[in-house]
Structure 1
Amino acid sequence: MCLSMQNQISNTSEYKLKSGIKIYHHHYNIIPSTQILAREQIHKIKQDSWYLWTANGQTQSIGQRDRKWIAPTNVNVNATYGFLISESQFSLAKFIPYVAGLSIIQVLRKYNLQGKIKWVNDVLISKKKVCGILVENRGKDPSTELYRILVGIGININSEISDFVDLGNKATSMKIETNTSYNIQDIILELSNSFEANMKFLLDSVNLIDEINNNLEKFDGQAITFDTEFDGQHEGIIQGVDNNGALILLIGDKVHNFVNGRILAPIP
């Protein structure tokens, strides 16, 4: 990847998280996307360590279904984590979005903010989006035969209300909620420690379903519109998440479980 002068690495560091595991952290000024860069540099991920790409700003931020947008500079967390998991652990990969969401919620609590997981890739505060999560399985590393996992996380930290003018009342930031500015690097470090610790719980087969359901946004029992992409839209009431990570939706008088799809909006 050829980087312009404004996109050169501004900081490269190696440090240990609270668990003792080493994380290799490359921080950039402005790049197209940490997720794109992570895909290109995925060969760098080492066994028994984590890799982290962060940037002050992004010109081609990537979300679910490869949606792209411009991320404002120096106000939010723009991060992609990379790590390896084994064949025996791969069946647990479907829970990684939840683990990332729980980790973000734990960080928010430290600042007296209450977050909820919007199934399956967002975190909300007061039903407004504060964070998006993108998990990718990039196949096996040829040298280790371990699966390469990338987890993109974008958190609205110091964004202003004016940054969301095109989104109506659907997004928020930590600053908007508390009228306080935050140190982004401190939050990245807190998130890294929380995420790695929770991933260890998951890969050690600790059952997190109760914790997930306790932190799942159920929209106060209000009916929601659910888009399955391949099977059209449904209207139902969220019941929770099952042991396979599927969304449990009450449609009429019948319960249905969905492994794919997205929540569009509560029904007024």
Structure 2
Amino acid sequence: MKDEIIKLLKIEGQLSSETIDEIKQIDIHDFSNLVQEIGKRETDYIKASEISENMNTKYVGKELFVFKEVSSTNTVARFLSMHDVPDGSVVISEKQTAARGRSGKAWESPLGGVWLSIVLNPHVDYSKLPLITLATGVAVAKTLEKIGVENPEIKWPNDIMINGKKVCGILTEAITKLNTIENVIIGVGIDANLDIEEFPEELKAGTTTLEKELGRKGSENLLIKMFLEEFEEVSELFDNEGFEEILKEWRKRSYSIGKIVEVREPFNKTYDAYVLGISREGALVVEKIDGTLEKVISGECIIKN
């Protein structure tokens, strides 16, 4: 984390190459105020003022930190969460240079996308953590429906799909202490106004963008504003233990239920299965080839043709 924060400061012209070695000897926590100050500066494309204008939230997005370029918004959000930023604070960047998805996979994050992370203090048991990812997926899907996307679907555990192609990824990271969740960082990346032809070859076939699906460019600032409003609604449901309502909304938009998948669990445990549904804990319920039932708590499910 220290190297990434130093890189951010260097990009913003706060550090010269000659001072990097000296700076590395300083406690990284001493940079908190400077990082927050940079996050309040005017940026070229993402405008905090446009996002905040008439935004109907009580706490989510009331504190916005917007950057021109970071390695990963989750990294910056995690750093700021250690320095008492308010619940619901949001870190946004116009570009990410080293974003990552689930299992450490790289995530392309050029200009034209929505790259943000939310700092959340959910005050829930660790076992409920998977439901936060599902709730975020519901918020993204509802946002896309509002801007005209027909039938956005949620692929367990963290992808939003349009016509069978990925348009959004979600990465949830918990900051824990003695088995207690202190903060949760929820990273969201939406391929908004991007040219699919500029993507690496290995990503083109399975990826789409909002511009391609809608046939027009949209405002990233308006999209962020609408998403933060939807996110606060599902977040309040979560805080009030409205888990059944979240799961109901998730099931209505499920891309995974009813499909044959290859399940890839940690420690190279791989098998084919049929997806039956989702449990109250947010685990995927599958039927294996031998007829046994399994709950998949973490891992990845590859849809098989």
Structure 1 equivalent of residue 63 of structure 2: 24
Alignment deviations for residues 63-105 of structure 1 (CA, whole Å, 9 cap, x no partner): 11233344212x100000002122x555432200011100000
Q: Distance in 1 between matches of 2:173 and 2:134?
A: 14
Structure 1 equivalent of residue 175 of structure 2: 138
**Farther-moved stretch of structure 1 (27-36 vs 226-235):** 226-235
**Farther-moved stretch of structure 1 (11-20 vs 194-203):** 11-20
- Give the greater-gyration-radius structure (CA): 2
Structure that is richer in strand per residue = 1
Secondary structure of residue in 1 paired with 2:275: strand
Alignment deviations for residues 137-162 of structure 1 (CA, whole Å, 9 cap, x no partner): 11259xxx872110000000011121
Q: Distance in 1 between matches of 2:57 and 2:70?
A: 30
Q: What TM-score do you get using the length of structure 2 for normalisation?
A: 0.78
Alignment deviations for residues 10-44 of structure 1 (CA, whole Å, 9 cap, x no partner): 44679585242262101011111111111222124
Structure 2 equivalent of residue 251 of structure 1: 288
**Farther-moved stretch of structure 1 (27-36 vs 95-104):** 27-36
Considering only aligned residues, what root-mean-square deviation do their CA atoms show, in Å?
Answer: 2.4
Query: Which ranges in structure 2 are unaligned for 5 or more consecutive residues?
Result: 14-37, 43-47
Q: What TM-score do you get using the length of structure 1 for normalisation?
A: 0.88
Contact 1:117-1:216 within 8 A present in 2 as well = yes
Please say if 1:104 is aligned against 2:110: no
Contact 1:134-1:153 within 8 A present in 2 as well = yes
Count of residue correspondences: 260
Structure that is richer in helix per residue = 2
Contact 1:45-1:51 within 8 A present in 2 as well = no
Against the structure 1 CA distance between its residues 91 and 260, is the aligned structure 2 distance closer, same or farther, given a 3 Å change threshold?
Answer: closer
Amino acid at match of 1:176: K
Alignment deviations for residues 137-196 of structure 1 (CA, whole Å, 9 cap, x no partner): 11259xxx8721100000000111213342131000100111110110111111111101
Shift of 1:265: 3.1
Aligned equivalent of 2:254, options 201, 216, 225: 216
Amino acid at match of 1:243: R
Q: Give me the identity figure in percent.
A: 20
Please say if 1:162 is aligned against 2:197: yes
Secondary structure of residue in 1 paired with 2:218: coil
Amino acid at match of 2:228: S
- Within 5 A, what are the aligned runs for 1:2-151? 2=6, 3-6=9-12, 8-9=38-39, 10-11=41-42, 17-21=55-59, 23-46=62-85, 49-73=87-111, 75-86=112-123, 88=124, 90-113=126-149, 114-140=151-177, 147-151=182-186
